[in-house]
Every structure is written in C-alpha cells, then in structure tokens.
Amino acid sequence: MKSALVAAAAAFVLAPATAQTAIAPGGSAAFNVPGLVSLYQVFGHAGSVNGASSDAPYVTFSAGAGNVFTFTTVTGGVNCCGDANQLATPEGGNWLGPGSSIVGINGISDASGNTQLPLVAMFGSETDPFGSAAPAALAAWDASNPVSQAPSLYQVFFVGDGRAGFDNAAGALLTFTAPSDATRLYIGFVDAGSFSGTSSWYHDNPGSIDATVAMAVPEPGSYALMGLGLLALARRRRG
C-alpha cells in the first residue's frame, strides 16, 4: 500500500527528471524516465496533489502537418508501491485493482486503462494549458489499442512498449501523428492513490523506463503541403 512513511523517505532522494531535446524528421532522442515523473508536471506546475513528482521530459520539433512519431525501443519498468523487486514492464502492472482511472490537472486530459503505470505521452505546444479546459480523454487503453493514433494537444495517450499487442516484442510499431500546431512531445506516467482519482502518489514509484522517440520523415505529399504553406506566408508578407 502507498503510505505516508514511504512518501517521507522518498522526499529525501528525489532527483529532477527534466529533459528537453530538439529533433527533426529522421532523428531520434533517448530518455530515462524515473517512476516519479508525472506527465501532468509541465510549465512549472506541480503534477501531483499529494506527494512530490518530477517534470515530464519532452522533445521539441517544428510545427506542421504530418509529423509522425514512434517509440522504437522501450525497456525497463516501474513499481507503484516502493517495491523495487516487483517492477512491471513498460505496459504497466496491476498491483492495486484491475486498472487506472486518473483525473487530470493543469489543463491536461484524464487517462484510464486496464493497467497501472504504463509509459504514456502527450503532444503539447509553447502555450501553457494551465487554466484552460482539458481535452476529452481518449478511450481507455488495453491490448486492442489502435496501431495508429492522432491525439489532440494535451490529450494523454498510451505508449507502453511502443508496439501493438501486450508485451509483444514482435508487434508492429505504434505510430502517433501530432496535431499540426504541436511542437512538443512529453513522456511520463499517470498515477493516483489506488490508481483512482486526481493525479498524485508518484513519490513511491521505484524503477525507470528507457525510451527512444523517433520522428518519421514526412511523406512527399506532406512536404508539398508544407511548401505551399510557406509560399502562401511569403506572399502575405509581401502584400
């Protein structure tokens, strides 16, 4: 069980997990994501209403249509309750009940699914969502998640091990298409007391996940659309 004693002990060993890396089409970036990272902790806002948490690391990229991302390697695992000997895979575990039902904060969506503490992510921009209405939550994650998704800004989506199926190393890579105004991709975890309620209780999550994020090279059609957009912008400026 998550306890105040574990929280007090963890408060003395917390280390920042902030990271920011710029990538371009064809590029990739690798992150180590400790279990105390809250996906809701962005723009300096606390990501937990109970106990400490760390900032969500992210990659930056140029806005535009057709930005597609994959998680080419995802390894490691975390635990919910201070037990480093029972780490789950990146798909998450089931320590306290059948799944997760997390209420979002800071203008970021709720998140739910049939496992606990899987790797999750969201697209963002330079605009702080704090104070804005959060987007609707995506459907609860499970082993039948779609292979391709196109989430909205600040809409939490399931990554797990980055592949189709459950703990299936041979599964197809999941692809995530960013909104055209997105310039950031955040990664982290969502947690709460007994995995139900408002984002909290990250401080007793030992372990970490290593994830490599890759940005695909756009299809030729996407390059053409980008070129037309730049041409239209140049004409407006001349006018």
Q: How confident is the model at residue 230 (pLDDT cuts 50, 70, 90)?
A: very low
Q: What pLDDT score does 31 carry?
A: 94
* Contacts (Cβ under 8 Å, ≥6 apart) of 73: 162, 210, 211, 212
Sign, Cα dihedral of 63, 58, 110, 41: negative
Mean pLDDT over all residues of the chain? 87
Above 60 in pLDDT, residue 236? no
Q: And the tokens for 124?
A: 């963002």
Count of Cβ atoms closer than 10 Å to residue 45 Cβ: 17
Q: Could you tell me the CA-to-CA distances from 221 to 64, 177, 231 in Å, in that order?
A: 13, 15, 15
pLDDT in tens, 74-133: 999 999 999 999 999 999 999 998 899 999 999 999 999 999 999 999 999 999 999 999
- Supply angle C-alpha 192, 150, 91, rounded to 5: 40
Name the token pair of 42: 């962005």
pLDDT single digits (tens) 33-46:
999 999 999 999 99
pLDDT one-digit tens code per residue, 12-65:
233 333 467 899 999 999 999 999 999 999 999 999 999 999 999 999 999 999
Work out the pLDDT band at 220, boundaries 50, 70, 90: low
Structure tokens at 125: 């921009």
